Structure 1
Amino acid sequence: MSIFKKVKFPTAHTILFIIAAVVCILTWVIPAGQYDRLSYDDENRVFIVQSQEGAVTHPVTQETLNKLTIQISLEKFTTGAISKPISIPNTYKNLKGHPQGLVGFIQAPLKGIMKSADIILLVLIIGGLISIVNATKAFEAGIAWLAEKLRGREFILIIMVTTLIALGGTTFGLEEETIAFYPILIPIFLAARYDALVCIASIYVGSSVGTLASTVNPFSTIIASDAAGINWTEGLTSRLIMLVLGLILCIAYIIRYAQRVKKDASRSLIHDQKEEIEKQFMGSMASTNTLLNRRLKLVLAIFASTFLVMVYGVSQLGWWFLEMTSVFLAGALLIGLIAQINEKQFVTEFMSGAKDLLSVAFIIGIARGITVLMEDGQVSDTLLFYASELTSGMNKGLFINVTFLLYNGLAFFIPSSSGMAVLTMPIMSPLADSVGIGREIMVNAYQFGVGLFKFISPTGILLASLALVNVGYNKWLKFIMPLVLLLAILAMVMLTFGAYF
């Protein structure tokens, strides 16, 4: 037994490399295959069907869509609601294998880093911004003030953070952006005598349950409904109910664990890291008495404003990573001027903060590299084909629940929610017609399945989030799996009810 105690769970980087190796092996086992793709060329006003034989243009008419057995209205394409190529039903073909070998394995993380340059840059700039704010001691003063205000009512912090982030997740898919919140909120949770796992859960679980029960999220709900040929408002009531019930369940679960840790710190799943984490995030805060003066209040106000501007820009102005990163860089420069940080100290602090998140940036790139391996190996469509074959001919209840479980599995191979929608909905939604259930229930099965897997997905943003606090994936699984099982039961009950009533 002593030998096993000495064996440590591998780091996030190693876990991802192991998964990448397994995916490489799968590309030798799973046959390569692909559906034909349909895209709309707005400039030339034509449909383009891309197959292995080449590209063929078709007139932009509803008749063309009907001939291709695509039950989606023409306006979904012409208005830009569907902008990515979609899979064409009944066109799956086996291809010559593209197994990925040693070269592909080595190049995958490098390709992943190149493809993830936008989010990696965002993470590094956020690291620099946080370091600049730290240098002003505004965090120290703000945390001391907030801890005093919430004394005896710290659970409000859990409810507030989880709910707000869930609202971001359900409305515009707040996910990657949450990486910015951990370094700011963890000291606040620690000051409230919770452990860092409570903070991670409040942020990550909030985001995940929000995306699981997306209501108006254009990157999942709307694009999936469009690809299924229905209006996004169909099924909205059931998603709202799932959001409320799921959020209540998640908050209750986190508070139960948090209160247990607060009463007895030794019951924390990361108790062995308590001193290390407090030193990393609290520093000398406990021994200093920095007052929250006007200048520091202004620093914190500007810092908070960068996130408000980011949320508004993403949700209302169509911003993406370049614009978000620009806001955080501008915030760092403005805070540096207000706090009168000299040029040399500013550069030193900013670079130090970026360096602290470099490990997280690499994790994001390596995770994206796994997706590159699957794309190059051309196995994702094969898995979709067999999934559709498996569910064909089942009764309503069994069909929708098996579909939900299949989406959990497919989410490992296709981590992008929008990519999953445009690839699978044109294939899977007609199956709903064959068993007599509404296509909105299929959209819900997709959302619940993809959303639930995000709670444990090693190929998403989870490992990067855990790496910020140096919390092992094994400890996260130990914490989160009971909640995942409860949410799975809730989702299956909701889907079964929707299929029959």
Structure 2
Amino acid sequence: MKFPSAYTVLAIVTLAVWVLTFIIPPGQYDVKDGKPVEGSYHHIDNDQSFMDRLHDLFISPVNGLYGIQSTDSGQVGPDEVGALYGSAAVFLFVLAVGAFITVTFATGALDRGIGRLAHRLQSRGMLLIIGIMTIFAVAGTVEGFAEETLGFYGLIIPLTLALGYDRMVAVGTIILGAGIGVLCSTVNPFATGTASSAAGVTIGDGILLRLAMLVVLTTVTILYVLWYARKVKADPTKSLSGFQPGDHDQAEAVAKAMPEPLTGRHKLVIWIVAFTFLLMIFSIIPWSGIINGPDADPFAWELGWYFPELTALFLVASVVVGVIGALGEDGLTGKIVQGFGDFVGAGLVIVLARGVTVLMNNSHVTDTVLHSLESVVAGTSSAVFAIAMFVVNIPLAFLIPSTSGHATLAMPILAPLADFANVPRSLVITAWQSASGWMNLIAPTTAVVMGGLALAKVRYDKYLRFVGPLLVILFVLICVFLAIAAITG
């Protein structure tokens, strides 16, 4: 038996939702300033015939891409509602990021840079762990660095063994380093970007809270791995993973090997990569709102970019990195196309999930589901609401391990609940991505965890024993952050 892929899960969800549209009564809220008005929900008639609904079912992925929505007068195209319901902009953005990441790795700059850092710190074990986890956390928070970590086990495992640690230290350094960054995503396009689009807010909304969580939770996670590493080095019998035959011989050989040097081209590529992500962060933050309040007029230097501009940024950066990295015309275009291909799966998950949303909107049941949840939210404190959003999303994250698919599916329902609870929608996004990131630290349905453990030759049950106490600590800290943010507004 094997757990189905995200595509199969979303296909099942699509069919189940379609069936439920025949059972759930249609209704809608009055809308003011793009938000549902509390207490204005009312039932309406749905004049769709069975054939119309069947038509919507089969073309739901197409509708999800373009945001086509049914009205009393027929079909409404993307010019009118695509910005709200279509996923075309997010789909292209994901492909552009994929091209940029693939081109960057093709230059060898990041691999060599991390390799030289690891070699330079090989005699200082604690600094090695801190350095690699920090870099992976930063990469995770800005671009969802996860599957890319699978390429570093061959380098980091021998180094940790040579320093007197075990394989679990390498696993914790890699999986938890990148995972905590994704959990505390600040501008991660696959998590924060997709969720923000589905919730109807900008990526920069709520970034200060996420930055604070990133600093605190990353520090706690690093200290946890350091504690375990120090314990194993002092007494190897306390190792949870144990040692494989020939571990120490392999470690000594790799530790003595000199990594390839960074050329001037590699250094320039690294600087351009850093500049690209810094520019993305700068361009999406609502600086005037942070400095002078949410109703302030935008500053003259405030860019206010969104998905179209960010897509163009990563495409241009891909070309610049490829030219500087001397990939050549064939190499550059080939890697860009390869990046599109590698990431089209994530884009299709977004399209399929958005198709479910449009299916519900066409049947006028979205507001009915929202109304049923409104009664649950009513009367609860903002702190309880924020924590509830975190807890509710944990089982959803297990069923849909794809962050993009989970966000696209859940946000159209959950984000408007924030309006009734008098908290910003960005807080719901933070609660959602915290739940998704927390679950994906242990989810047996992700290649990051299971693939990494296979490469490290560490049993899954041993990893659960290692990470279990940390998960409890992170759970409590996340709830505290969400409660404080909800109370302080």
TM score, norm. by length of structure 2: 0.60
Paired AA for residue 384 in structure 2: N
Q: Assess, with a 3 A threshold, how the Cα gap between structure 1 residues 454 and 23 changes in structure 2: closer, same or farther.
A: farther
Aligned to 1:113: 65
Equivalent of residue 36 in structure 1, options 30, 36, 39? 30
Q: Which runs of 5+ in 1 are unaligned?
A: 1-6, 40-84, 167-173, 227-231, 272-285, 430-439
Give the drift of 1:8. Answer: 1.9
Q: Assess, with a 3 A threshold, how the Cα gap between structure 1 residues 32 and 406 changes in structure 2: closer, same or farther.
A: farther
- After superposition, residues 406-417 of structure 1 pair within 5 angstroms as 409=392, 415=407
Is the 1:154–1:192 Cα contact (8 Å) retained in structure 2? no
Is the 1:138–1:292 Cα contact (8 Å) retained in structure 2? yes
Give deviations 1:385-439, integer Å, cap 9, x for gaps. 2233245567x6xx9636742675489699479866873344333xxxxxxxxxx
Inter-partner Cα distance in structure 1 for 2:426 and 2:64: 30
Inter-partner Cα distance in structure 2 for 1:130 and 1:156: 24
Q: Assess, with a 3 A threshold, how the Cα gap between structure 1 residues 245 and 190 changes in structure 2: closer, same or farther.
A: same
Is the 1:357–1:468 Cα contact (8 Å) retained in structure 2? no
CA RMSD between the two structures: 5.3
Inter-partner Cα distance in structure 2 for 1:349 and 1:239: 32
Aligned-partner SS, 1:308: helix
Aligned-partner SS, 1:318: coil
Equivalent of residue 356 in structure 1, options 305, 317, 342? 342
Aligned to 1:304: 274
Equivalent of residue 56 in structure 2, options 104, 109, 121? 104
- After superposition, residues 292-441 of structure 1 pair within 5 angstroms as 292-315=262-285, 317-390=303-376, 392=378, 401=384, 404-405=387-388, 409=392, 415=407, 423-429=416-422
Aligned to 2:164: none
Is the 2:377–2:417 Cα contact (8 Å) retained in structure 1? no
- After superposition, residues 120-269 of structure 1 pair within 5 angstroms as 120-151=91-122, 152=125, 153-157=127-131, 159-161=133-135, 164=138, 178-179=143-144, 181-182=145-146, 186-188=150-152, 191-193=155-157, 199=174, 201-209=176-184, 246=217, 248=219, 251=222
TM score, norm. by length of structure 1: 0.59
Is the 2:119–2:258 Cα contact (8 Å) retained in structure 1? no
Equivalent of residue 95 in structure 1, options 20, 40, 44? 44
Paired AA for residue 401 in structure 1: V
Give the drift of 1:240. Answer: 9.2
Is the 2:146–2:179 Cα contact (8 Å) retained in structure 1? no
Inter-partner Cα distance in structure 1 for 2:89 and 2:151: 27
Is the 2:95–2:344 Cα contact (8 Å) retained in structure 1? yes
- Structure 1 vs Structure 2: percent identity of aligned residues? 26
Aligned to 2:14: 20
Q: Assess, with a 3 A threshold, how the Cα gap between structure 1 residues 146 and 374 changes in structure 2: closer, same or farther.
A: farther
